[in-house]
Amino acid sequence: MSDNTIFTGAGVAIVTPMNKDGSVNYDKLGELIEAQIRSGTDALIICGTTGESSTLTDEEHLECIKYAVRKTAGRIPVIAGTGSNDTAYAVEMSKDAEKAGADALLLVTPYYNKTSQRGLAAHFTAIADAVSIPIILYNVPSRTGCKIEISTYKELSKHKNIVAAKEACGDISFIAQLAAETDLTIYSGNDDQVVPIMALGGKGVISVASNIIPKEMHDMTEYALKGDYKKAAEMQLKYLSLLKALFCDVNPIPVKEAMNLMGMEVGKCRLPLVSPEESKIGLIRSELDKFGLLK
């Protein structure tokens, strides 16, 4: 593994389980982390979008990172989501995550206020200058309204701490260009595009689906890493309908619903996210049943 590769394979974008009163359920988080490691998951991404970082208090956000670092105890890398649309805030959260023992950072593009490409370069550089651990840039324009262009990626890739991209733009041609024109490690940010992105040189996925099928997502990436794209593609296609069901509503609503249907008792999402309507619950239940995942 090269020095700038944080992990290869399937990293889980883990949910943040909640108690009935809406507080973070740390005991359950510990159970989930242990189950992920047992299932072969290659990295733990804590406090990302799937972890409801936008509705965690600063204290909860940092405690989740500290807890994940303690619980994994160096067995797999812990990647902390510390991105923000406020650069100063992201700098402080990133410094705190590094102090807490995170192995790397996941930085989403600024959202709502957005920014220009020059602004993106300045934003990510300010954060990268403030820490000494590796950074994965997260490009998800469908959620943020802000896209990292190739020229900006090229500029940012010169920074010693900016080593990877989580690509969820959905555009395979764009990702091919990114692979051709930079030496960034690329991770799929979309569970339904893992194999095509890895065929272009991607090193794995930061996965929502790994919350419910961790071994399968690990195995899919393992086949691709070994060059067996036939088997990897078979798995990608086999689970395609399940992966689609996990995005029938705003992430992480469906995956938390799925985990609860599987008996994992991860609680509800925090407002403004609410439980899916009955038709979507039916779809999720049907897909889980198809793969023998229901409790």
Whichever domain contains 61, its CATH number is 3.20.20.70
pLDDT at 3: 59
295 in catalytic set: no
Tell me if 81 is assigned to some domain.
yes
Q: Is the residue at 23 inside a domain?
A: yes
Distances (CA, A) of 71 to 121, 163, 181, 290: 34, 25, 38, 33
> Alpha-carbon distance 195 to 207, whole Å?
13
How many angstroms separate the CA atoms of 56 and 103, rounded?
21
Using CA atoms of 191, 193, 196, 199 in order, give the dihedral in degrees to the nearest 10: -30
The pLDDT tens digits for 33-43 are 999 999 999 99
Q: Which two tokens stand for residue 10?
A: 């399937």
188 falls within a domain: yes
| Res 140: pLDDT | 97
Choose the catalytic residue: 66, 166, 203, 256: 166
Tell me if 77 sits within 8 A of 104, measured CB to CB.
yes
Q: Let me know if residue 14 belongs to a domain.
A: yes
- Evaluate whether residue 275 is within a structural domain: no
**Mean pLDDT of the residues in the chain:** 97
pLDDT of residue 4: 72
Q: Which residues of the chain have pLDDT under 50?
A: 1-2
Q: How far apart are CA 106 and CA 80, in angstroms?
A: 6
Dump pLDDT digits (tens) for 274-294. 999 999 999 999 999 999 999
Read off the pTM: 0.97
The catalytic position among 66, 67, 71, 138 is: 138
Structural domain boundaries enclosing 21: 9-228
Residue 292 belongs to a domain: no
- 166 catalytic per annotation: yes
In a domain, 252, yes or no: no
What is the three-class DSSP state of 290? Answer: helix
Is residue 271 included in any domain, yes or no? no
pLDDT at 81: 98
Q: How many domains does the chain have?
A: 1
